[in-house]
Structure 1
Amino acid sequence: MPSITPAQLARRIGLPDAPCLIDVRTAADVAADPRSLPGSLRRDFAEVADWAGECVGRAAVVFCQRGLKLSEGTAAWLRHAGAAAETLEGGFEAWRDGGGMLLRPDHLPPRDALGRTHWVTRARPKVDRIACPWLIRRFVDPGAVFLFVAPAETLAVAERFGATPFDVDDTFWSHRGERCTFDVMLEEFGLRSPALDRLALIVRAADTARPELAPEAAGLLAASLGLSRMYRDDLAQLEAGMGLYDAFHRWARDATAETHNWPAGKPA
């Protein structure tokens, strides 16, 4: 049957073409360990016929506690609906026991009727206010909604529209000491990996005017300031910035040892 190993899935999580992750564990299993795979969506396996249409035309990976009947049945339904659905071998237990990254839901904002979290921050983002949405969309909630508003109205908009403020003074999701909001999100969500830790150092250096922390920070800051002047619309800037952070993350994960020089080596 179509399946994927935890090691194979770990290489795809966080990438722009990552599959949709569907958590169909029972309520009892979730209560025993409420953590889940990064970016996964909780769905009721018994109602798969009602929500299967969400995955049509998409790649999906389904997991239950041990990767058995609930995963198999749900994935079969999704394939029937037109999704390229696989099961996670060994399910949640295999992922957890293998040291896979797990998202802590303690401070995850409530979701709307469509399953999305809502966030609000100040308009005209530069570094942290693009880095945090990238992290949320890639590792927390792929469908998250981001509102960019006038700085003076941020908290009022948060209250009236039920959105969670971030990178705003005197709120939970903000700078703490020398750490920027991106650092705080990694800590509170429990998202740790060598690549994310390396990226966090670059973001912190660029966002807090400490380029000596990471030589790549100057490049991130220059690209971020350039994007802020290229796009008048903050959401358009966010979409462009997603690709920028995808590239930095992929470099941090796979290419830090690679160098480039000229002239290129000539064949013998």
Structure 2
Amino acid sequence: MGAARTHRDPSSARPRYSAAFQVKKGVARWAVICLYHTSMVVTEDRTTGSPWLLFMFCLPTQRASQRVRVWRKLQKYGVLAWKNSAYILPNTPGNLEKFQWLTAEVRKYQGDASIVEVARIEGHTDKEIMSLFNQARAKEDERLMGDARLGLRQSAAQSPAQRRAQFARLNRRLVGIQSTDAFGCGKKREAEALIKELEARAATGPTAGPIHKDAIKKFKRRFWMTRPRPEVDRVGSAWLIKHFIDPEARFIFSANPQAHPDALRFDMFEGEFTHVGDECTFETLMKRFNVRDKRLKRIAQIIHDADLEDNKFGRVESRAVDLILKGWAKMGWSDDEILRRGFDLYDALYVTLDS
């Protein structure tokens, strides 16, 4: 990402600033003072590709509890604190919206806030700033992995309810960390693997039994729900449902089961169809609905190795399929588009494996 040009005001020789929205003069003057203090170069031209958003705020001294509330939200956003006077996030529409809502909240508390697009931070390359973000996420992942390993050691002595509660708590932390992992921290896959193992141990017997053939009709023409940003197991499971279980299935992407109480949940915590033991959701669906097909069994092995990363079946195709689906998510495609193209991918696999 190239740095934007520095814009100078001929009358004052000061760099101009560009807030992401209209700010009061007093706030703007205060923002420029902070920018001098933090040695940042800003731009007034949003087309120049400024890579960073800078958030600054101040609250009256008697607003201590509100200050803590704002600080906690900033931590939740995964900001990088800079010189104890500003907070940085990558310049994306989503992050801009977060800062805009937070600005409105600060002003509700009779405080001031400003958002600035930053083209360059003197003395630091964009790569170095990305590394600082990754270091922060890596520390969070390390703490999470430590707690997950402890949970795995304790799981043998826990009740099923305790294991489910432990998985839910740690999975929420993982989701929170991943939502702020803008640059792909290297600890991500290791943390995911530990949480998946916790999920497998949290799974209980009732979901593992086969469905009687007379009851299968209850699973026709249904809404099926899974988590947003589907990857190898969720896309594969949806493809299996549509082609072999419920041809008229309609799919919903949501992390909130209460929003669609009548939907059948798959590859979700406490869903009707999810991981059981060391088996992925695709394998669970095949067993529950007694789907028997040699090619599907091979696809199940590919998905298992990609999703659980245990190389149980040694399927060389797993890595490629996993990378393709992850790449589509990173390209910003919608969940529906990923599913549509994922169906084509699994159709091609099914045909190829026939040979």
Which one has the largest radius of gyration? 2
TM-score normalised by length of structure 1:
0.50
Structure (1 or 2) with the greater helix fraction = 2
